Amino acid sequence: MTTTDAAPRGASRTPEAARALFADLTGRDPVGTWSAPGRVNLIGEHTDYNDGFVLPFAIEQRTVVALGLRSDARIRVASTLDAAPVEVAVSDLDGLFPTVGAHPAVPEWAAYPLGVAWALLQASGATDVTGVDLAIASDVPVGAGLSSSAAIEGATASALNDTWDLGLDRVALAQVGRRAENEAVGAPTGIMDQMASMLGRPDAAIFLDCRTLDANVIDLGFAAAGLELLVIDTGVKHAHSTGGYGERRASCERGAEIMGVTALRDLSVDDLTRAATVMDDITFRRVRHVVTENQRVLDTVHTLRDAGPLQIGALLDASHVSMRDDFEISVPELDSAVEAALSAGAIGARMTGGGFGGAAIALVDHEKATAVTDAVNAAFAAAGFTAPHIFTVSASAGAHRDA
Ligand code: ADP
Ligand code: MG
């Protein structure tokens, strides 16, 4: 249910936009449309690339790809977000990617769908595939921490996997999306977003072990408990490929190396006492965030199963404090959103996504959604911040063929 200033809902308009763009591009109708959702991460931030645990869910907002076949072996991509289509020969993909030094040889947005095509061919070993035109539209807010990147990857990967009859399963398609983002775009992200976008289910989150890729569906029970999840998009843009994300990853790798483990996933909260004595303060605080955050994900899963969603608030709050003080990836707008939401009665609140901007989430009783929204808006106005975009998300299905 929408409380205020809703994000546009994808159910009807986005497929139409993709089909209309396809018609503009080719003068024909597409053979089909595929879509994949954005995601919100309930808890488990910066744990994915540390082989740890995350608990995201797919949201209603989706990216849609309309696809048509060509008579040559070229691939052309167009998006409603960029006026200029980009076209390359399928046989040239190997020369374009992987991208050295994070500078795509094509406009950055086009490196997502073209990188997916490249990674799919790499993963499947296929070479002799038919050319395609892809027209892309989306209602996932871009750069807001809701993973428009995984949505464009998942929609493209699903469309090409079906069209080229490659037979890759959902986990393999998630890995293809990640490879495209890491090696074609040059953004060093983990696997969480792609797994959530591929595996999402209505009213449920995906409890993912990022080491084994074991995924379990966890019922959220938000509606039954009278709860909704507000997303507070601060409008502050982050840039994964250029921001502090890579630096945080490097700290985590350094911490794991000092502790003699493969990844921070292999440390428990008890190991932090020793960690504090063998590394510098900054590295230690980065490590402490990841280790305690992993434990909070496990605790959230148990709490949802045993006690229900009303009891997870303190875990969400502790996650935010850890990211603010130990991992240092929050910004004043996110802190303000969380503080205002909690003082207006939210059950729990935290920044979500990679940090340095993007969105916060607040779990709220349906009755209090308007009061929380008003309080956040008022806090932003008082601080002189640009007004946030506040809307409700609900857990939805993962990638699929639409038509
Ligand atoms: P987030 O995933 O949080 O939205 P990212 O920086 O990871 O932010 O990904 C956003 C980038 O993905 C955009 O800058 C653009 O390059 C690409 N992208 C996402 N959705 C689309 C789209 N519908 N059309 C074109 N490019 C897109
Ligand atoms: Mg992203």
- In this structure, the residue with its CA closest to atom 9 of ligand 1 is 149
Q: Are residues 204 and 238 in the same domain?
A: no
Residues 239 and 210 in one domain: no
Number of domains in the chain: 2
279 phi and psi, to 5 degrees? -140, 165
Query: Does residue 119 sit in the same domain as residue 40?
Result: yes
Burial letters for 21-38: b for 16+ Cβ neighbours within 10 Å, e otherwise?
bbeebbeeebbebbbbbb
> Which residues, including other chains, have CB under 8 Å from residue 110's CB and lie 6 or more apart?
77, 79, 82, 86, 104
What is the predicted pLDDT for the residue at 245? Answer: 82
Instruction: Report yes or no on 34 lying in a domain.
Output: yes
Measured CA to CA, the distance from residue 230 to residue 101 in angstroms comes to 37
Active-site residue (options: 193, 280, 325, 402): 193
- State both tokens at 48: 């994915």
Residue 136 CA, ligand 2 centroid: distance in Å:
16
Ligand 2 centre distance from Cα of residue 156 (Å): 15
Q: Is 251 found in the same domain as 198?
A: no
Torsion of the alpha carbons at 112, 114, 120 and 126, rounded to the nearest 10: 180
Residue 132 in any domain: the answer is: yes
Sign of CA dihedral 198, 199, 201, 207: negative
What's the CATH number where 71 sits?
3.30.230.10
359-393, pLDDT tens digit by residue?
999 999 999 999 999 999 999 999 999 999 999 99
Question: Does 74 reside within a domain?
Answer: yes
Residue range of the domain that includes 178 = 11-218
Per-residue pLDDT, averaged over 327-334, amounts to 96
Helix (H) or strand (E) holding 116: helix 108-124
Residue 194 CB–ligand 1 contact under 6 Å: no
- Write down the pLDDT at residue 83: 84
Contact 149 CB / ligand 1 (< 6 Å): yes
Q: Is the separation of the CB atoms in 63 and 151 below 8 Å? A: yes
Examine the fold and report which residue of 178, 200, 218 is the final residue of a domain before the chain moves on: 218
Answer for the pair 123, 59: CB distance below 8 angstroms, yes or no.
no
Q: Candidates 149, 178, 191: which one to mutate for ligand 1, based on the most atoms within 8 Å of Cβ?
A: 149
Q: Which CATH number covers residue 299?
A: 3.30.70.890
Q: Within a domain: residue 196?
A: yes
> Which of the listed residues 170, 198, 218 is the one where a domain comes to its end?
218
Q: Could you say which of 195, 218, 241 is where a domain stops?
A: 218
Ligand 1 proximity of 142 Cβ (cutoff 6 Å): yes
Task: State the pTM of this model.
Answer: 0.90
pLDDT recorded at residue 297: 98
Intra-chain end-to-end CA distance of the chain, in Å? 26
Same domain, 229 and 91: no
Q: Which atom of ligand 1 is nearest to the CA of 152?
A: 20
On whether residue 2 sits in a domain, the answer given is: no
Q: Is 389 helix (H, G, I), strand (E, B) or coil?
A: strand
Inside any domain, residue 402: no
Shared domain check, 141 and 77: yes
pLDDT tier for residue 100 given thresholds of 50, 70 and 90: confident
